[in-house]
């Protein structure tokens, strides 16, 4: 495991370059949306439901790193748009369970398709060595994203 805490110049430069590249690419990817009426946070909540399955608003708030009252508002907006449904919690009737609708699944699939097509078009500008290094880096970037 590398020790990056000592701040060697090349490590600092690499961290800066990685941060900058990931942020720029993330911003550009966010613009490749199917439904412009949804905020990035709303899209993120739908993505979390797609990956993790149904959850309470409190669980979603923790996963999305927002306050529970904010998540309650987000869930209400998504429900009004027909993208999530609320059901009684099986063990605690004071709580609700949020799940995505078929409409949300279809929209997320179309969004993934659009973003994949955009990334594919960008990747076509890479040479074979760059593409091989990017493929090898993908699992490492995913690991960082999940830490």
So what's the pLDDT on residue 140?
94
Can you read off the two tokens belonging to residue 46?
């739908």
Residue listed under structure tokens 């995913």 = 142
pLDDT for residue 7 is more than 80:
no
Q: Give the N- to C-terminal CA distance of the chain in Å, as an integer.
A: 14
- Of 129, 117, 115, residue with least CA distance to 25: 115
pLDDT for residue 34 is more than 80:
no
Residue listed under structure tokens 């600092």 = 12
- The CATH number given to 9-146 is 1.10.10.10
- Cβ neighbours, 10 Å, residue 102: 9
pLDDT for residue 6 is more than 70:
no
Overall size of the chain counted in residues:
147
Rounded to the nearest integer, the mean pLDDT of the chain is 91
């Amino acid at each position: 495991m590398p020790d990056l805490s000592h701040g060697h110049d090349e490590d600092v430069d690499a961290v800066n370059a990685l941060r900058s590249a990931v942020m720029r690419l993330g911003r550009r990817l966010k613009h490749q949306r199917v439904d412009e009426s949804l905020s990035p946070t709303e899209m993120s909540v739908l993505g979390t439901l797609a990956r993790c399955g149904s959850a309470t608003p409190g669980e979603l708030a923790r996963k999305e790193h927002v306050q529970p009252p904010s998540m309650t508002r987000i869930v209400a907006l998504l429900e009004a748009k027909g993208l999530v449904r609320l059901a009684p919690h099986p063990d605690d009737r004071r709580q609700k369970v949020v799940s995505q609708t078929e409409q949300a699944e279809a929209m997320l699939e179309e969004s993934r398709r659009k973003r994949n097509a955009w990334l594919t078009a960008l990747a076509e500008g890479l040479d074979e060595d760059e593409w091989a290094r990017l493929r090898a880096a993908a699992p490492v970037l995913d690991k960082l994203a999940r830490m």
